[in-house]
Structures are given as C-alpha cells and as structure tokens.
C-alpha cells in the first residue's frame, strides 16, 4: 500500500470516530433526557449549541492548521474533544451538558479543515475527490454504526455514561498513534518510495501567494463566496436528514417501531455509497474535462435531482414511496460532499484549512437555520412544507455550481 493511502486509512478512521462521537448524543437521547430531567426545548438547545460552537471555530482551527501544520492541530483538537466526550458522561443537568457540548463543538470544528490540509499535502490534485470520498464515506459509516456500537453499552451495567467514556478513550488511542507515526510533509517520511514522493510533490499544486492575509483574499474571492453559498444550501438539506428525519417520519408520517428503525438507517447507508461514488467520479471527470468542468458535473446533476426527489417525497402520501425517494435523495445529495471539500483544496492551496473552514462555517449557518426553523414551519404549515422547502434549497445549490470554478485560486475572481 502506498504511503498516502496508509495516511488516508488513518484519517478515515478519525472521520468515523468523529461522527461516532457526534451522533452519540442523539443515539443516547432517551436515557440522557430521562436521567437529567431535560425538556424537549432544553434538548433543542443542547443540540443547537454544538452547531454554533462548531461553526464558530471552523475558520480559526483551519487557519491554525495552515500556519502550524495539521499534525499538531489534529493532536490538540482530538485530545480536546475526546476529553469533553468523556466529560459528557459526567454531566449532572442542563447547564453542565450545555457547556460541555459547546466545548466539545470547539474541538470537533478542527477535524475536517485539518484533514483537508493533510490530504492537500499528501495527494496529487487529481486524486483529491477520491480521497475526500473515502473520508466522507467513513463519516456516514460512523453515523450508521453509532446505534449498533453504543446501544449495547447503554443497555449494559455501564449505561449511557459508559458509552461516552468508551468513545473518549477511542479518540485518545488514535492521537497516540498519529503523534508517533505521521509526518507533516511527504519529504519527512522515511518509509515513502522515491517514485511516490516525486509523484506527490510534482502534482499536488500547493501554490501560495505571499503578502496578502487570508481575510483580505477572502473578501475579494468570488469563488469562495459562491462555494460558501452552495454549501449553505447543501448543509441545509444534510442537517434535515441528520436532525429531523426521525421526527418527520414518526410525527409527520406516523411511522413506528421496527419500520421506523429501518427507514431511518437506510438513507445513511446509501449516503455512504453516494459519498464514495461522488468523489471518485469527480476525479474521473477532472482527468477528462479539467477542473473547471470536471468538478461541476457531479454536484450540478446530483443536487438538482436530489432536490426534485425530496420535493416528490414531500408530495406523496405513500410512506414506502416517500422513503425510497428520500433515500435516493440523500444518496445523490451526499455525492456533493467530497467534491465540495476537494474544490476547497483546489482553490485554497496552502490555505486549504482556512478555505474549507469558511465553507463549512457557511454550511453550519444553513444547518442551524434548518434545525431551528423546521419545527416552527412544521407546527404552522405541516411537516411536508419544510421538507419541500429543503428540496428547493438543494436545487438552488445545484445552480450555484454553474459559477464555481475550481481552477481559480483564492483571492481571484471568476
């Protein structure tokens, strides 16, 4: 196995752990709410505070990685959020859990921007899509595995608190391996073949303009602003699936019991496949048509079709047809995720951490608005209305892709 593929495997494991830690609180919500005596409104704040801190620290942790190196920052942030994962198991009430979730979000904010920095340094530019595909496939597998791994711990003598202790220790073990195994630059690795090193260094396209700060280039980069608008649209749809799907199916469509378990897991399993295919196909089209057209093809079509399928799901009264449409819709929607992160690397260069952090901050703004507004819209206009609205937002995101140019570097116009 090539050295860069070994690194990708280790980062994929981190991505899986990241989503295990993130999804855990939702998987374990019933015993937590019961023991800590939390209301539904308080639970909404617990979930929302993570999104706020996660979004607020995306750019700072990305910039830190650009300046200090992703290896150091990943060590710090994984230790940080693993510590607060353990501390989650020590929560005694609403306020302690609220503060813990805020601090946990601060740490997790550094994960994907700094993973992108590592990939930008270790992979040729034409392989960025497939590398991100593996990372995001692992994240969806982490979300899907959370109930299978954590439910037995919850039901054991260790309870829900023991599940968080287990996850925190898992993160620390990853850090120990990463600290002593990974090298920041390919040229520092002693076990890399000369041919692979030459391939990486000659094709990774890490150009950096000197003299201008990230924020100065940020203000003048039409490309980055378009990327942020697009990711706002994508994440609005993604967080419907992550935050409201179960509620929509149960309360909006009356689905219960084993049928509900199946219907809530299927979209994430197919989303993993969507992530995998999206990144690999994007790299294929880049080789054939170049970055400008090649990076656009997958998200233009996948987001548009996803939006249409979500709209159709909201309009049908048949629950089985609805779930088929939503499952296909999420799979197609998530084909965009690895392409988006690959483009942030394409236009960011040595500012990849800052660019991906800015993009994800915009996405989390959309996610927060979706999380807060969905309940209000469902209460006043019915559950199908906000779902249909999500479909329209996804279609808007596909249209923005027509103006995003992966060949234009940070600070340049289109």
Q: Are 228 and 404 in contact (CB under 8 A)?
A: no
Tokens found for residue 237: 């749809």
What 3-state DSSP class applies to 190? coil
- Residue 57 contacts by C-beta under 8 Å, 6 or more apart in sequence? 105, 106, 109, 110
Those residues of the chain that have pLDDT short of 50 are none
Query: In this predicted structure, what is the pLDDT of residue 208?
Result: 57
Q: Are 85 and 21 a contacting pair, CB within 8 Å?
A: yes
Give the per-residue pLDDT at 367: 85
Whose tokens are 């998200």? That residue is: 299
Structure tokens at 369: 């608005």
Tell me how far apart the alpha carbons of residues 252 and 249 are, in angstroms, rounded to a whole number.
5
CA distance 156 to 241: 29
Architecture in CATH of 211-414? Up-down Bundle (1.20)
Collect all residues with Cβ–Cβ distance below 8 Å to 125 and sequence separation of at least 6.
Answer: 203, 204, 205, 291, 345, 346
Residues 134 and 10: their CA atoms lie apart, in Å, by 11
Cβ atoms 261, 113 nearer than 8 A: no
Pick the CATH number of 1-206 from 3.90.550.10, 3.40.50.300, 3.30.40.230, 1.20.1250.20: 1.20.1250.20
Instruction: Give residue 171's pLDDT.
Output: 96
Give the CA diameter of the chain. 63
Sequence ranges of the domains in the chain? 1-206, 211-414
Domains 1-206 and 211-414 fall in the same CATH topology: yes
C-alpha triplet 204, 120, 367: angle, nearest 5°: 140
Report how far residue 10's alpha carbon sits from residue 113's, in angstroms, rounded to the nearest whole number. Answer: 16
Residue 148 vs residues 17, 102, 158, 181, 280: alpha-carbon distances, Å: 14, 26, 16, 30, 28
What per-residue confidence (pLDDT) applies to 370?
81
What pLDDT is attached to residue 214?
66
Per-residue pLDDT at 263: 81
């Amino acid at each position: 196995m090539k050295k860069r593929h070994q690194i990708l495997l280790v980062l994929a494991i981190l991505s899986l752990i990241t989503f295990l830690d993130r999804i855990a609180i939702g998987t374990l919500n019933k015993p937590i709410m019961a023991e800590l005596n939390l209301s539904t409104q308080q639970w909404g704040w617990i979930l929302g505070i993570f999104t706020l801190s996660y979004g607020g620290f995306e750019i700072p942790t990305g910039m830190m990685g650009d300046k200090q190196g992703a290896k150091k920052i990943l060590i710090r942030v994984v230790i940080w959020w693993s510590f607060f994962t353990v501390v989650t198991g020590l929560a005694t009430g609403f306020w302690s859990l609220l503060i813990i979730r805020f601090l946990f979000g601060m740490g997790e904010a550094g994960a994907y921007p700094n993973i992108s920095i590592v990939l930008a340094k270790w992979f040729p530019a034409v392989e960025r899509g497939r590398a991100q595909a593996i990372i995001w496939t692992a994240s969806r597998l982490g979300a899907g595995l959370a109930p299978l791994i954590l439910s037995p711990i919850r039901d054991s003598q260790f309870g829900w608190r023991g599940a968080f202790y287990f996850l925190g220790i898992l993160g620390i073990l990853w850090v120990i391996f990463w600290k002593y195994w990974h090298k920041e630059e390919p040229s520092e690795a002693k076990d890399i073949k000369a041919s692979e090193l030459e391939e990486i260094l000659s094709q990774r396209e890490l150009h950096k303009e000197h003299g201008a700060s990230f924020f100065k280039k940020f203000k003048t980069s039409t490309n980055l602003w378009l990327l942020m608008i697009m990711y706002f649209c994508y994440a609005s749809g993604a967080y419907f699936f992550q935050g409201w799907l179960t509620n929509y199916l149960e309360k909006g469509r009356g689905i219960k019991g084993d049928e509900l378990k199946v219907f809530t897991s299927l979209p994430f399993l197919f989303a993993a496949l969507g992530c995998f295919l999206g990144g690999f196909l994007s790299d294929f089209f880049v080789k054939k048509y170049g970055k400008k057209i090649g990076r656009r093809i997958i998200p233009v079509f996948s987001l548009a079709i996803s939006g249409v399928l979500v709209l159709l799901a909201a309009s049908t009264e048949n629950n089985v047809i609805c779930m088929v449409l939503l499952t296909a819709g999420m799979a197609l929607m998530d084909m965009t995720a690895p392409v988006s992160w690959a483009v942030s690397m394409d236009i960011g260069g040595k500012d990849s951490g800052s660019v991906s952090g800015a993009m994800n901050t915009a996405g989390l703004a959309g996610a927060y608005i979706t999380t807060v507004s969905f309940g209000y819209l469902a209460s006043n206009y019915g559950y199908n209305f906000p779902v249909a609205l999500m479909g329209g937002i996804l279609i808007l995101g596909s249209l923005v892709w027509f103006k995003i140019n992966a060949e234009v570097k940070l600070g340049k116009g289109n």
